[in-house]
Amino acid sequence: MTMPQLSGDARPGLAPGVRLTFDKARDQWVVLAPERVLVPDETALEILQRCNGTRQLTDIIDELASAYSADRSEIEQDVRDLLASLIEKRILTA
């Protein structure tokens, strides 16, 4: 089964049972999920912090493109790849 392409007005958010939290003991952000602790890299963290279930995908891409003064289509591909992977792993929902 191929994941359907997310539409621009999708509002990705953390899946139920998943928390993004700051781990003081290790001085890093972590994603807490059932039986799993993930440590997002800098790019993934920037994306995850914007996935709050209310922001639209297009806005998230716009924001990141402007924050990094980067090519929008490149950012869009990065964001879509990460979201697809995290949705399949049930870390995010959209």
User: What is the contact surface with other proteins in residues (CB under 8 A)?
Assistant: 1, 3, 15-17, 19, 21, 23, 25-26, 30, 32, 34-35, 37, 87-90
Number of neighbours of residue 6 by Cβ within 10 angstroms: 16
Q: Read off the DSSP letter of residue 7.
A: P
CB of residue 48 to other proteins, shortest distance in Å: 16
Task: Kindly tell me which of 34 and 41 has the beta carbon lying closer to other proteins.
Answer: 34
CB of residue 50 to other proteins, shortest distance in Å: 22
Task: Kindly tell me which of 26 and 72 has the beta carbon lying closer to other proteins.
Answer: 26
Task: Kindly tell me which of 44 and 87 has the beta carbon lying closer to other proteins.
Answer: 87
Taking a C-beta distance cutoff of 8 angstroms, is the pair 31, 19 a contact? yes
Buried b (16+ CB within 10 A) or exposed e, 55-92: eebeebbeebbeeeeeeeeebbebbeebbbebbeeebb
CB of residue 84 to other proteins, shortest distance in Å: 9
